[in-house]
Structure 1
Amino acid sequence: MGPTLADSKATTDLVNIPPRQTGPNVWYGPQVASQESTWLFILTAQELAELEVAADRIVEDSAVSSSSSTLSLRLLSSLDNNFNLKNLRARIDSLVANNLNSGLGFFVWRGIPNEWSHARKCAAFLLIGKCIGNLRQQNGKGHVLGHVKDLGLDSSDPNVRVYQTRERQTFHTDSSDVVGLLCLRTAASGGHSSLVSSATVFNEMLATRPDLAHRLLLPMAKDRRGEIPSGCLPYFNIPVFHWYEGHLSAIYQRQYIDSAQRFPTAKRLTKEDVEALDLFDSLCDDERLNFTMVLAPGDLQFCNNHALLHDRTAFVDHPDDKRHLLRVWVAPEGARPLPPVYAERYSSIKVGDRGGVYVPGVEPVAPLHP
């Protein structure tokens, strides 16, 4: 039997120890996979009609042409004044309240037509993201519309983020309250989406190795991968698990924890830290806990980063038609409170105005292509 809570008490006396988690966001993959009706929804004709009209107005306002490669964000600043979205907004409000904030922590919405133009799909996706909350910049270039596509890069480069490669991502969270994806094109093989409940992973660790669960409540250095806000270190210090105002939240990307060790001033990972991270990874990879879905073109997936971790399997592209997903990071107004330490990555912990990657002087932009 491994060490017990008493064995790690000396290093966790000042840590707010979470209890075993309960509720709908504590789930096991095979069970959730068999209950599609709780997380898979279809866009109705009324919702699509509203979305099409609004998306076309955005495209028209952007004057998209061969010389214009970005969408205007002007009309998104006031949705209710600029668009008639009664049915769409009602459905989104329900999904955010019942799935993202207080339910399983995710949903899939199916039905963006394949025959829509690329610009219309991009505009529609931005519009849905904005209906959920405030759009956040995803990189140092200010992109609020991200493109998940293999750019021929390698994650061994410390300034490359894994979504820019065709490698497996491993289970992780993004630096926002909510991450949304719209599948445009699938790979020849692989590239599937996997989800796991961070509360379930915590419960499993607490039951088998409480000393290692508590180790993940202590700060570890995490690499910023070259996207460094003014006045900040190239890494930040944050625990994996946080128990704050009745919510267990997780923030995790193993590659970035490991690569932060390249900085001489970063806190060194101990043998116990590595053991805790390895156990965390093995539980995320356990098919008893996670499940994998295949996103088809036109499918939207939205996940609560504080309640779930997500993964993308490695993939092989078609020679002339690469796998391509759009991505948004969103800060909803009704999201859970976060502890002050999240400001290390989120810039702010103010609900509705937090998360993303901000570089001074860089304005938000919505590029139509990577």
Structure 2
Amino acid sequence: MSLPPAQITGPSAWYGPDMAQRSAEWIRPFTAAEIAEIAAVAGPLAEQQVEIASLRQADFPLPTLGPILADLKQEILEGRGFALLRGLPVADWGLRMAATAFYGVGLHFGRACSQNGKGHVLGHVQDLGLSSKDPNVRIYQTSERQTFHTDSCDIVGLLCLKQAKRGGHSALVSSVTIYNEMMKRSDLARHLFAPLATDRRGEIAPGEKPYFEIPVFNWHAGLLSAIYQRQYIDSAQRFEDAPRLSAETVAALDLFDALADDPALNFEMVLEPGDIQLVHNHNLLHDRTGFEDWPEDAEKRHLLRLWLSPEDARPLPEVFRQRFGSIEPGRRGGIILEETKLVAPMTARG
């Protein structure tokens, strides 16, 4: 087992309160000219109802904004790990225009991946009145707190269309900082470098187990990458053939959660309509607080989501192939089943 140094330094090893004070560094408003440039491409595509899932970066040229997004992508992949683009006029645009614009901007960060067994490359994050107690329900389909986790991709993007009546705030924490703090306090971190079962929640590709076995912490090519969803680690224990969690591993997971939840490490941000949040999954975890929604369907909390795979993403260890399908940058991540056909639905139940 290859282990990192006891303390990892660099721009991704940040603390939440400090980062919250530096919002001018990571909030980047769109200019009027940039919005016009996006609209000039997205407008005709939306009007013609072009299948969004068929689009490639070349179909969405952004001669002025594109180089800015390329620099921002490097900051996400190699720097602090996240950014917030602010100010798309989504209320004026309507759903299809906003979805097309978001997808086109997202393509400048990577190829879009399927987010479920239905092949949805455009996800709708909404409360569908479901409960995570159902082993085939994923938490983003509920109004529950998600808890800190990673998604099955290199970069996750969110576009806020509608805010909740109360709550539903986004939170981030550095998994590098969590590792550093664990190492300061105990030797429990070493238990998270061993594979452990994580529930696939019913989305199982041919020949795969109903769970994957990847360590929470992975040290590869001089980089620490994390993959984590505590609820799905716990629910994988329902499978008789899943490796049992040792007392030491449970203690390590509990310490990991306590540190992730510590306001000395994490911070919250409020996504406003028109905001695009971009997060590097390999060295950050994200969370969403529980929320109370509006009673009117037209006003309910609604975000669009992208899972993105950049061609210049970091190398990943072989074990990630279990979840990512491939470990080739630009061709990895997402959930692909035998019957999967890529689509970009306009509703959460599409």
Compute the TM-score of the two structures, normalised by the length of structure 1: 0.91
Deviates more, 1:46-55 or 1:350-359: 46-55
Amino acid of the structure 1 residue aligned with 2:304: L
In structure 2, C-alpha distance between the alignment counterparts of 1:122 and 1:246, rounded to whole Å? 37
Instruction: Give the counterpart of 2:278 among 302, 316, 325.
Output: 302
Secondary structure of the residue that 2:48 maps to in structure 1?
Answer: helix
**Contact 2:172–2:267 (8 Å) recurs in 1:** yes
**Contact 1:143–1:366 (8 Å) recurs in 2:** yes
Q: Which residue of 2 aligns with 1:68?
A: none
**C-alpha displacement of 1:102:** 1.4
**Contact 2:115–2:307 (8 Å) recurs in 1:** yes
Amino acid of the structure 2 residue aligned with 1:27: W
Secondary structure of the residue that 1:151 maps to in structure 2?
Answer: coil
Amino acid of the structure 1 residue aligned with 2:201: R
Query: For residues 93-128 of structure 1, what are the alpha-carbon distances to aligned partners after superposition, in whole Å with 9 as ceiling and x for unaligned?
Result: 010012x11111000000111311111001001111
Instruction: Give the counterpart of 1:35 among 19, 22, 43.
Output: 22
Instruction: Give the counterpart of 1:177 among 126, 142, 154.
Output: 154
**Contact 1:61–1:72 (8 Å) recurs in 2:** no
Instruction: Give the counterpart of 1:54 among 25, 31, 41.
Output: 41
Query: For residues 144-182 of structure 1, what are the alpha-carbon distances to aligned partners after superposition, in whole Å with 9 as ceiling and x for unaligned?
Result: 000000000000100000000000000000000000000
**C-alpha displacement of 1:56:** 1.4
**C-alpha displacement of 1:361:** 2.8
In structure 1, C-alpha distance between the alignment counterparts of 2:325 and 2:186, rounded to whole Å? 33
Question: Which consecutive segments of 4 or more residues in structure 1 shift more than 4 A?
Answer: none
In structure 2, C-alpha distance between the alignment counterparts of 1:57 and 1:348, rounded to whole Å? 34
In structure 2, C-alpha distance between the alignment counterparts of 1:90 and 1:45, rounded to whole Å? 17
Q: Structure 1 regions of 5+ residues with no counterpart?
A: 1-14, 64-70
Secondary structure of the residue that 2:206 maps to in structure 1?
Answer: coil
Secondary structure of the residue that 1:213 maps to in structure 2?
Answer: helix
In structure 2, C-alpha distance between the alignment counterparts of 1:205 and 1:84, rounded to whole Å? 44
Q: Which residue of 2 aligns with 1:23?
A: 10
In structure 2, C-alpha distance between the alignment counterparts of 1:43 and 1:357, rounded to whole Å? 32
**C-alpha displacement of 1:73:** 3.1
Which has the larger Rg? 1
In structure 2, C-alpha distance between the alignment counterparts of 1:287 and 1:199, rounded to whole Å? 16
Instruction: Give the counterpart of 1:258 among 225, 229, 234.
Output: 234
Spell out the pairing of 1:178-193 with structure 2 (5 A cutoff): 178-193=155-170
Identity of aligned residues (%): 53
Deviates more, 1:35-44 or 1:155-164: 35-44
In structure 2, C-alpha distance between the alignment counterparts of 1:84 and 1:272, rounded to whole Å? 51
Query: For residues 207-235 of structure 1, what are the alpha-carbon distances to aligned partners after superposition, in whole Å with 9 as ceiling and x for unaligned?
Result: 1112x100000110010000001110101
Query: For residues 240-290 of structure 1, what are the alpha-carbon distances to aligned partners after superposition, in whole Å with 9 as ceiling and x for unaligned?
Result: 000000110000000000000000000001111111000000000000000
Amino acid of the structure 1 residue aligned with 2:300: K
Instruction: Give yes or no for the alignment of 1:339 onto 2:337.
Output: no
State the superposition RMSD in angstroms: 1.0
Secondary structure of the residue that 2:108 maps to in structure 1?
Answer: helix
Compute the TM-score of the two structures, normalised by the length of structure 2: 0.96
Q: Which residue of 1 aligns with 2:107?
A: 130
**Contact 1:138–1:356 (8 Å) recurs in 2:** yes
Instruction: Give the counterpart of 1:102 among 78, 84, 91.
Output: 78
Instruction: Give the counterpart of 1:327 among 287, 296, 305.
Output: 305
Q: Which residue of 2 aligns with 1:350?
A: 328
Q: Structure 2 regions of 5+ residues with no counterpart?
A: none
Instruction: Give the counterpart of 2:176 among 192, 199, 218.
Output: 199
In structure 2, C-alpha distance between the alignment counterparts of 1:254 and 1:72, rounded to whole Å? 33
Instruction: Give yes or no for the alignment of 1:116 onto 2:96.
Output: no
Secondary structure of the residue that 1:367 maps to in structure 2?
Answer: coil
Q: Which residue of 1 aligns with 2:263?
A: 287
**C-alpha displacement of 1:206:** 0.7
Instruction: Give the counterpart of 1:141 among 118, 131, 144.
Output: 118
Query: For residues 59-84 of structure 1, what are the alpha-carbon distances to aligned partners after superposition, in whole Å with 9 as ceiling and x for unaligned?
Result: 13326xxxxxxx4433x23x33x444
